[in-house]
Amino acid sequence: MAAQKELGERRNHRRVLRSAAGGAEDWEALRLLRHVTGIAVRTFAEATGANVVIDTSKRPLDAAVMAGVKDIDHYVLHVLRDPRAVAHSWRRAKSFSVGDETRTMGTRRLPSTVRRWLASAIETEALRRHLPPQHWLRLRYEDFCAEPVESMDRVLSMMGVAGRPPFEDVATVSLRPNHIVAGNPSRFTVGSVRIRVDEEWRTAMSRRDRLLVVSSTWPLLRRYGYPWRG
């Protein structure tokens, strides 16, 4: 935990991201975290018989640490979404049941969401400079929803994994129980799930809030192909 805290200090972020290329061997905290991460990944694979282990933390720093773990083929799938949709989604209260309890997922205010979106995007772009291009794929949420089967084929092709995901048709997937510890309540959904884009923000988000998000993120909106108006 102390090693994680040290790597997570803002002053160390750039150094951690640069280490993805395999450097910083003399940094004790980083060596420890790489060692423990390697044990965890290999144990997950061994216990489940899986060839692919997915880290769903979504943090560029975690990806940088994992990139330096020896004897693991590491790939990054950069999934992103329009920041206006992200800001709107984080303000919606979502309830879910765990056992006999009903819980509500935490919400975030717009400025906090925008800061997190920007920080994640900027650090992800920095991470990309230190990883092989053939081990990197960017996928927009909106593009995945439009063509889920084709999108998953691209992901599997990048990793050289044979087989097809469990799609029932071009937009319906059959989900089995997973092992995601935390995140969106939708992780509890199993069975046939229809994939569709959620664009409620276009009608439910105020013009003022949309302008605030755009004014803060416009360079990256342009880079990722999102229109300023919408």
Residue ranges per structural domain of the chain: 1-71, 75-230
The 10s digit of each residue's pLDDT in 7-56 is: 999 999 999 999 998 777 789 999 999 999 999 999 999 999 988 998 88
What is 70-111 written as a DSSP string? TT----EEEEE--HHHHHHHHTS-EEEEETTEEEEE----HH
Q: How far apart are CA 196 and CA 74, in angstroms?
A: 29
Task: Judge whether 7 and 16 are in contact, CB under 8 Å.
Answer: yes
Closest CA to 91 of 181, 219, 200, 228: 200
The 3-state secondary structure of 141-186 reads HHHHHHCHHHHHHHHHHHHCCCCCCCECCCCEEEECCCCCCCCCHH
How many residues in the chain? 230
- For the stretch 135-191, pLDDT in tens is 999 999 999 999 999 999 999 999 999 888 899 999 999 998 877 777 777 888 899
Residues 6+ apart with CB under 8 A from 162: 156
Give the pLDDT score at 212. 95
The yes-or-no verdict on residue 195 having pLDDT over 80 is: yes
For residues 76 and 136, the answer to whether their CB atoms sit within 8 Å is yes
Q: Measure the CA–CA gap between 9 and 16, rounded to whole angstroms.
A: 10
In 10 A of CB 81, how many CB atoms? 18
Q: Options 3.40.50.300, 3.50.50.60, 3.30.360.10, 3.40.630.30; which CATH number does 75-230 get? A: 3.40.50.300
